Structure 1
Amino acid sequence: MQPDLGPSIRAGAAVAPRRKRFAKRRKTLGYSQEGFANELGVAVSTVARWEAGKTDPQGYLHPKMAKILKVTPEGLADLLTPEVPAPDRSTTYATTPPLGDTDDMKRRDVLSLLAVTGALIAVPSSDKPSPRSGVAASLAETGPELNSHLWKVFSLSDSKQAVYPMVRHQLDLLAKGLEECQSDASRQQLCALVGDLYQLAGEIFFDANRYTDAAHCYTLAASASREAGAFDLWACALTRHAFVELYERRFAVAAPILAAAAQVAERGDRQLSTRHWVAAVQAEAHAGLGNLDATVRALDNAEQVHALAGQLHNGGWLRFDGSRLAEERGTCYLSLGRPDLAEQALTAALSQQLSLRRRGAVLAELAALGAERHDLDQASHYTRAALQLAGQTGSGYIGRKLEGVKNRLVPLLADGRASALHQQISALDSAA
């Protein structure tokens, strides 16, 4: 995770890798930053940000940049690969995170809290009065609204990890609330809040490509939701757990989890979209197993969400409204080796209003489609656009989609363009 560590740490830790080779080539050809910017029709500050490694040039500028710098497209890709600076051994505590504040320590911190919360859910509190009385009552009053707010912040944030500190604080309060003596009704309400927020914690881990940690969070979320008697919440936690297996391409493992989620969802609120979301995810599992007929049936079941009236979801742990079905169809058809159907669905998805994270994922799928067809122009165009959004958002979700592009480029590496794209995606992996 990458929570905000404060101004002094950010000042020392956020040194972007610079593009020294790119700047050197510009200077060698006699261009100042201003002159180079004028040739391209961009602002001088834009060129400065490129060379500082803070932003990437947009894909449509690459041909003109290569011409000005008198390099091949592959040569330009090499120039644009940032050089990672060597660590500064002289850095002091004022600009370096303390040893106890590392990413691994934060991870263990959350997993320890998860273990404690799991125990509190499994073993109801005793009748002995709690010295911290009042936490549970406060959470019952403010918890639902705060959880909903955190989901909204997560949804709107370009960098999903930025939400982590707030989520971590609320998870700690929920654990304290569960320690208190409480009525069965109060305990059920707290378990529902835990089932809700641990799904959000899992989403944060999932976006950072920490799939095992995400799975732990989803497992606890499912247990807490079961204790709360909240079937829709429970089904969503199981579905998110199955997503972890899908992204590890363990389709045979995901399928029974989703079958269980479908059974649980059938006991939920028929006015909510839960069972339709489960069907949409089941389609991905069927596609991974190569079953076209089952995939189409599951997608058709998911499409029935459009027949529902009223409030379909809560915008938090349940957000499925069918608006993503075009991109989900595209993903399924690409997995099934049906590029004709995949391109139609993905192009339709790209025409919609998408978040940066979702747009990056669709662009990566279109790049994979180009690579599958050995169309390197299409693969190059969409890969660079997806890489730019991956860098802008820091999303591991887009990076994971780009891994699919990278794998499909392997048979084409004899072509310099494919090799350059492969290197650019690998550079993203290294940076992550």
Structure 2
Amino acid sequence: MTSGVSTSESRRTTREIRSMALKRHGLVRHRRAVGHTQESLAEALRVERSTVARWESGKVAPQPWIRPRLAEVLRVSTEELTELLVVSSADEQPVAERTEYAMRYPSRVDLSTVAELRDRMASLGERYDRLPSATLLARAGEHVSKVAFLAGEAPSGRVQREMRILQADAATFMGQLVWDASQRRAHETARSYYAQSVDVARHLGDPNAEGHALLRTCYVALYGASDYREGLNLALQAVRTARCTSHVLTGLAMLHTAEAYAYLGEGSDCERALAGAERHLGQAHGADAAHDLFSPTHFGRLAGSCYLSLGDYRKAEQLLAQTAAELHDRRKSRAIVLGNLTLARLRDGDLDGALSALNDAVSELHGTRGGGGMNIVFRAAREMRPWRNEPAVQDAQDRLMALMEAM
């Protein structure tokens, strides 16, 4: 797979900026304080030393699935680890200083400002799976406004291009937040943000930013509007857009292509799309411009959902149970998986197993209020109505009502 020049060069530029100006000083200091070298930390985590070095340099962030283990080895909580992963400038300049200077003198925005703005957006993204989206909206909206303003004022050339790419990514993230905060009801608002991202990405010739926005628009069609044909068309469009630049985006788009086929009851097409997704995701690597979107649990999450829709409840249960066990700090994603696991077990006649999964899902939702998980959990609760006189079912229903009252 060859890389598109505009996309790969832009992503490399951001990584180069970070390596020159920014670093995770807190992570470095704490790693030394607990007596670890880069080599010993890498050995404890079963990763390469170069991976630890890249984390500390700010070039990449630790993937969500490894963070619980990293926190354990460093003897910190997951919240404390989040603080250690904040990227700061090498000269200990306050993180917001460059941005605030650029807001006063927008024509002087530079590549270091771009890197700072991208890191601030990444910090918001890292909190997405742990916090209610509504609590992030105000800060994200302010950030998106700053990015849009500076993108319009930045000097032409490399700086302006980097700002426009960041503008596209920020609009996609804002659409994701708005849709989740609305419990997946604000379809048009989310679509408008994704459309902004697509427009900017097409103007820049950035297939990865365009493919990501198309994929997010596909989610609205599949999970919000229940328009499975439109969702399928959008997923296939994302596949065509990203296939020459990103195995990750292509694989993710093919997973959602498979899910659309499953919703439509087209099992053989679903199986072919799953095989294609697995092939592309198996070729994912750290240099992929969309690598930050990748999680090892993606395939199990979507394949399990596919088999649930196709009525193969045993296979769905196997995939979803394994995936739920592997998900750690991605609480919104875990709630969705547990909701689907509840449905798979319930439809297979395992009421006790379904109640166990449902209660676990509600526990995750108490902290995150994730729209996807809420929708699936309430669907599962409706399917439990034939057993509503069972004490355990009544208890689960009471927990759901308490969750609703707390929102």
Q: Partner of 1:369 in structure 2?
A: 344
In 2, distance between residues paired with 1:296 and 1:262? 16
- With 211-220 and 306-315 compared, the bigger mean Cα shift is at 306-315
The alignment status of 1:312 with 2:288, answered yes or no, reads yes
Amino acid in structure 2 at the alignment position of 1:226: R
Q: How does 1:16-415 map to 2 (within 5 A)?
A: 134-135=105-106, 137-138=108-109, 140-157=111-128, 158-161=130-133, 162-180=135-153, 182-183=155-156, 186-208=159-181, 209-210=183-184, 211-212=186-187, 213-248=189-224, 249-266=226-243, 268-270=244-246, 272-304=247-279, 305-314=281-290, 316=292, 319-354=293-328, 355-413=330-388, 415=390
CA RMSD of aligned residues (A): 2.7
Measured against aligned partners, the alpha-carbon deviations of 1:225-279 in whole angstroms (never above 9, x if no partner) come to 111211011001000111111112221221111122122113x425x41111110
Measured against aligned partners, the alpha-carbon deviations of 1:143-180 in whole angstroms (never above 9, x if no partner) come to 24432442344224521433333322222222322443
Shift of 1:427: 4.7
Shift of 1:431: 4.1
1:293 to 1:217, Cα distance in 2 relative to 1, 3 A: same
1:392 to 1:302, Cα distance in 2 relative to 1, 3 A: same
Amino acid in structure 2 at the alignment position of 1:155: E
1:188 to 1:150, Cα distance in 2 relative to 1, 3 A: closer
TM-score, normalising length from structure 1?
A: 0.62
Amino acid in structure 2 at the alignment position of 1:176: F
Is this contact kept in 1: 2:208–2:290, CA < 8 A? no
Shift of 1:415: 4.7
Is this contact kept in 1: 2:248–2:288, CA < 8 A? yes
Shift of 1:285: 0.9
Amino acid in structure 2 at the alignment position of 1:168: G
1:416 to 1:207, Cα distance in 2 relative to 1, 3 A: same
Amino acid in structure 2 at the alignment position of 1:273: V
1:403 to 1:140, Cα distance in 2 relative to 1, 3 A: farther
Say which SS state the counterpart of residue 109 (structure 2) adopts.
helix
Q: How many residues align?
A: 298
In 1, distance between residues paired with 2:230 and 2:366? 32
In 2, distance between residues paired with 1:397 and 1:261? 21
Amino acid in structure 2 at the alignment position of 1:311: A
1:188 to 1:160, Cα distance in 2 relative to 1, 3 A: farther
Shift of 1:303: 0.9
Q: Percent identity?
A: 21
Q: Partner of 1:79 in structure 2?
A: none
TM-score, normalising length from structure 2?
A: 0.66
Q: Partner of 1:57 in structure 2?
A: none
Say which SS state the counterpart of residue 384 (structure 2) adopts.
helix
Shift of 1:133: 8.4
Is this contact kept in 1: 2:248–2:290, CA < 8 A? no
In 2, distance between residues paired with 1:215 and 1:430? 29
In 2, distance between residues paired with 1:190 and 1:357? 30
- Which structure's residues are more often helix, by fraction? 2
In 2, distance between residues paired with 1:428 and 1:181? 46
1:159 to 1:388, Cα distance in 2 relative to 1, 3 A: same
Is this contact kept in 2: 1:151–1:315, CA < 8 A? no
Gaps of 5+ in 1: 1-131
- With 277-286 and 151-160 compared, the bigger mean Cα shift is at 151-160
Who wins on radius of gyration, i.e. which is larger? 1
- With 204-213 and 245-254 compared, the bigger mean Cα shift is at 204-213
Shift of 1:430: 5.1
Shift of 1:424: 3.9
In 2, distance between residues paired with 1:296 and 1:200? 30
